[in-house]
Amino acid sequence: MESLRGQEQIWQLMFSFVDSMALKCAIELRIADIIHSHGKPITLSQIASGIRSNSNSSISPNIPYLSRIMRFLVRKNIFTEHQEDNDEVISLYGLSDSSRWLLRDFKSSLAPMVLMQTHPLSMAVWHFLEDYVRNSSNTFEKAHGCNIWEFSSANPEFNKIFNNAMASIVPIYMGAMLSSYKDGLGCIKGTVVDVGGGTGGSISELMKYYPNIKGINFDLPHVIATAPALDGVTHISGDIFESIPSADAVLMKGVLHCFSDEKCVKVLRNCRKAITDKKNGKIIILEIVLDPTSNQIFDETRMVYDLLIPLFSGGKERTELEWKRLLNEAGFTCIKITKIPIIPAIIEAFLV
Ligand X SMILES: C[S@@+](CC[C@H](N)C(=O)[O-])C[C@H]1O[C@@H](n2cnc3c(N)ncnc32)[C@H](O)[C@@H]1O
Secondary structure of 209-258 as H, E, C letters? HCCCCEEEEEECHHHHCCCCCCCCEEEEECCCCCCCCCECEEEEECCHHH
Catalytic-residue membership of 38: no
In whole angstroms, give the CA distance from residue 284 to residue 271. 11
Q: CB of residue 116 vs ligand X: minimum separation in angstroms?
A: 11
CB 196 within 8 A of CB 245: no
Q: Give 96 or 202: the residue with its C-beta nearer to ligand X.
A: 202
Nearer to ligand X, 50 or 197 (CB): 197
Cα 131 from chain centre: 25
Is 166 one of the binding residues for ligand X (CB under 6 A)? yes
- For residue 133, the minimal CB distance to ligand X (Å) is 23
Q: Is 255 in the site for ligand X (CB under 6 A)?
A: yes
239 binds ligand X (CB under 6 A): yes
Which CB sits closer to ligand X, 149 or 350?
Answer: 149
Asked whether 316 and 290 are in contact (CB, 8 A), the reply is no
- Say whether residue 72 binds ligand X (CB under 6 A): no
Q: Which H helix or E strand runs over 282?
A: strand 282-287
Residue 250 binds to ligand X (criterion: CB under 6 A): no
Residue 26 binds ligand X, judged by CB under 6 A: no
Does residue 213 contact residue 207 with C-beta atoms inside 8 Å? yes
Q: Which amino acid is at 39?
A: G
d(C-alpha 36, C-alpha 7), whole Å:
39
Lay out the site mask for ligand X across 171-210 (x = CB under 6 A, - = otherwise): -------------------------xxx---x--------
Nearer to ligand X, 96 or 270 (CB): 270
Using CB under 6 A, list all residues that contact ligand X.
149, 166, 170, 196-198, 202, 219-220, 223, 239-241, 253-255, 258
Which positions are catalytic? 257
